[in-house]
Amino acid sequence: MRRMTGAVCLLALLTVAHRGAQSNGISGELVDTYCYAKIGVRAAPHAACALKCVRAGIPPALLEANTRRVYVLLPSADASALPPALIAAMGKKVEISGDVIAKGGTSFLTVRSFRLRG
């Protein structure tokens, strides 16, 4: 019984840790969520449209390179904006460090820092 209780506690701790997990950096491509979700367009040829969409209020996201998981991007603090230089990089490959938040089937990534990737 003690082993089972210990295992349940460990599982609960791992679940809580994962929900507020800090990433060492997730690499992928910046996409606008509307065009990517609706018709699957992305990459450099779509960059101007993605920038226009995001500036109009459509949420930007990071399409992770390895898993193809989509992270909706959030600023690092409430009532603040994403860095303008990040928005200007729509359609490009970046690495973002921040906190991963899983909520209701959606993955979010707060942007603590980012850098352009080759």
Strand 106-111 and strand 60-64: pairing? unpaired
Q: H helices of the chain, where?
A: 2-19, 33-39, 47-55, 84-87
Question: Global pTM?
Answer: 0.78
pLDDT digits (tens, 9 = 90+) for 55-87: 999 999 999 999 999 999 999 999 999 999 999
Eight-class DSSP state of 89: T
Tokens 């992305």, residue located: 42
Can you give the pLDDT at residue 50?
Answer: 93
Total Cβ atoms within 10 A of residue 106: 10
Q: Tokens for 22?
A: 């800090």
The residue with greater pLDDT, 1 or 43, is: 43
